[in-house]
Amino acid sequence: MPYKKNIETLAKRNPRLAQIVDNTKLTGRYVVAPSQRKDKLPSIIDVRFNKNFYNNIDPYRIAEQDIKSRKLNVPDVAVFLGFGLSYEACEYIRQCPRARLLIIERDPELLKTAFSTHNCLDLINSPNVSFAGCEDIRLSYPVIFNFFNMSSNMYFLKSINVIEQPVSFAVHKEYYLNSLQMVKEAINQVLLLYGNDPYDSLLGIKFTLRNIPTIIDYPGISDLKDVFKGKPGIVVASGPSLDKNIKLLEGLREKAVICAADGSVKILKHHNLPPAHLVTSLERVIETSYLFEGLTEEDVKDSYLAACPVIVPETYANFPGEKIIVYRNFATFEWLNIKKGILDIGPSAGNMAFKVLEYLGCDPIIMIGQDLAITDDLVTHADGFHYGSDKVSEKDLIEVEGNCQPKVKTRPVYKQFLLHYERDISTYKGTAVNATEGGAKIHGTQIMTFQEAIDKYIKEDINTTAVIKKYLKQIKYKEKGRQIKETLKKLYHAKDFCNEIINICSESLEKCLVVEEILRRTDAAPAGEDYTIYRANMKILEDTVQKFGTKDFYLILMHYVQSIYIKILQDINSIKYKHDDGTERDIMMLLKYKELYSVLSSLIKKLIDEFDISIEIMEKFKADFAAKNEK
């Protein structure tokens, strides 16, 4: 029987889905019958609705004709609504071997029947195929998000092929329509994650470059990986429900690892509580630095600012305690190559706190004050928050499922945080507890009061402060000197590389002018030698994009230009998707190539200015370091 191998393989790729399928009982709803083909390839009938998914003459031929009938100008990414007996997906891959597929199936009994019928290992094993569904589609959001967040898929978010299995879609229409809504939501979140403003990304790079001396001076989160394995961690956020249970933190400082979002620091002080062990911060705005203004060394004794270096330097300066460097999963930090520890951090300081505790090995992770919502009377933060409660308007709010009530009000940006929490929790191997006692529901968490969580999970001393101090390492003199030298070399190389890309863009814009002139002169109908030159230059413009597929481009430029670069390539693929070959399509693509090369050139010139400033800062840092150590 093929079922055992199919389900074991699925368990390696998607254990949650495999468990759902394996626990499903076969009721006889689906009947598999051999066809009239020589190889007896089976068809499948839904007995409840008396529907045959294919036919009894040649079931595969039906799937083959379905895929062939579709317009697949850009076949790279497809969403399949319904699995059937896998014939549609197999035929799609046969026609488009490099395609990536997301297969959503509503009914676990159908999957179990299909897996029991024939070998599906090629599909299940393929890194280009992801499976989702068989439960509330909301719970499959992390799988759907991760599929579209793959770097190979991001360029095709405007050219996705949707393939409905006719019988499955007819029977479960509402589920699949909701699945498409979840697909749209995941795509929107991916686009938000990569930003829509390169100047916002430039801020992160600008501050990272200016924070390099701080990065070199302080230890990294990598020193603390798994040192609290199996020990409880507490995320303290600044939502309004924190007022209900914040006092219960008293006495827990050596029994758990307490990690607070930056906005919670003054709230803890307001309640005369000891500081958190770790304080997360990642916002690249000056207002974040004000959260620490007025704090004394005593206020943050044995507390570490575990910040991502995209923050403004003033945030580091205003925190009067020690620092730990925590990298976000950005190419810039990979390029910098000063090892500190890279985490896949979400968009908020609360999301960051969860990932930090996970990295430390904490289990369970208990969340308090993580409302991700606003109270009915429009209170946004707990008492003692630096900025007080925000002014909000009802018309700007949306509703989401609540922890303690059916629906709660929230902001769209809070929902973004919520969705990222659900993604993080889906891959967390421990127990996530939402002890917020209010606010929005985070799927995948256990819901209980903070007192119940304390009674169940926080039982013994773990000497948290001493353990952190024991494992954090201070950088040695020789290593510090090496890092300064290597970083300066990287900065000079990065500046030279940026100038090379500007030259490539300038040459490409000249090719655009050649094509434009031919199209203008021939009234968009080039022939003979004009056509040869026109096609040759269009090919060069398309091929030039491939020059940006280098490691240097990814490491030095991608985080900065990605919002523009990815968007324009999405637009180019969308044009190919919607239009057949011809001059009209070429003209639209030409406009996109002009936009790409002109905008890239303009953006990179601004980045070169930042490299110049950083080189000046690092040369001074190098001189000061040398002078200090000559004494």
Percent of the chain surpassing pLDDT 70: 99
Note the pLDDT tens digit of each residue in 514-534: 989 998 888 888 889 988 998
In this prediction, residue 290 carries a pLDDT of 94
Note the pLDDT tens digit of each residue in 37-67: 888 899 999 999 999 999 889 998 988 999 9
Q: Indicate the pLDDT class of residue 394, thresholds 50, 70 and 90.
A: confident
Distances in Å between the Cα of 452 and the Cα atoms of 219, 235, 387, 435, 457 are 36, 16, 31, 8, 8
Query: Within a 13 Å sphere around the CA of 260, how many CA atoms are in the beta-carbon half?
Result: 27
Closest CA to 31 of 18, 23, 40, 42: 42
Note the pLDDT tens digit of each residue in 270-324: 999 999 999 999 999 999 999 999 999 999 999 999 999 999 999 999 999 999 9
The model carries a pTM of 0.87
Pairing of strands 233-236, 365-368: parallel
Query: Within a 13 Å sphere around the CA of 363, how many CA atoms are in the beta-carbon half?
Result: 11
247 touches 362 (CB < 8 A): no
The radius of gyration of the chain's CA atoms, rounded to the nearest angstrom, is 28
pLDDT at 546 over 90: no
Closest CA to 343 of 325, 323, 327: 327
Residue 68 burial (C-beta neighbours within 10 Å; 0-12, 13-18, 19+)? exposed
Q: Treating both helix axes as pointing N-terminal to C-terminal, what angle do 87-95 and 59-68 enclose, rounded to 10 degrees?
A: 50
Note the pLDDT tens digit of each residue in 558-571: 989 988 999 999 99
The region, left, alpha or beta by phi > 0 then psi within -120 to 50, assigned to residue 575 is alpha
Closest CA to 163 of 83, 223, 239: 83
In the structure encoding, which two tokens stand for residue 129, read together?
């195929």
Closest CA to 236 of 206, 214, 258, 208: 258
> Average pLDDT in the 81-91 region?
94
For residue 362, the 8-state DSSP code is: -
Average per-residue pLDDT in the chain? 92
How many helices, marked H, and strands, marked E, lie in the chain? 25, 19
Distances in Å between the Cα of 520 and the Cα atoms of 242, 299, 514, 526, 531 are 66, 70, 10, 9, 13
pLDDT at 441 over 80: yes
Which of the pair, 583 or 282, is modelled with greater confidence?
Answer: 282
Q: Indicate the pLDDT class of residue 159, thresholds 50, 70 and 90.
A: very high
259 touches 234 (CB < 8 A): yes
123 touches 89 (CB < 8 A): yes
Percent of the chain surpassing pLDDT 90: 75
In the structure encoding, which two tokens stand for residue 584, read together?
């009209």
Task: Give the three-state DSSP class for 343.
Answer: strand
In this prediction, residue 15 carries a pLDDT of 92
User: What is the torsion angle, in degrees rounded to the nearest 10, for the CA atoms of residue 336, residue 339, residue 340 and residue 344?
Assistant: 70
Distance, CA of 140 to CA of 151 (rounded, Å): 20
Note the pLDDT tens digit of each residue in 345-365: 999 999 999 999 999 999 999
Q: Indicate the pLDDT class of residue 216, thresholds 50, 70 and 90.
A: very high
In this prediction, residue 191 carries a pLDDT of 84
- Tokens 């096609």 locate to 535
> Average pLDDT in the 547-557 region?
92
> Average pLDDT in the 19-36 region?
93
> Average pLDDT in the 3-28 region?
93
Which segment of 114-118, 213-217, 315-319 scores lowest on mean pLDDT? 114-118
In the structure encoding, which two tokens stand for residue 391, read together?
């002014």
Q: Indicate the pLDDT class of residue 631, thresholds 50, 70 and 90.
A: low
Note the pLDDT tens digit of each residue in 164-184: 999 999 999 999 999 999 999
CATH of 3-193, picked from 3.40.50, 3.30.1360, 3.30.1180, 3.30.300, is 3.40.50
Task: Give the three-state DSSP class for 74.
Answer: coil
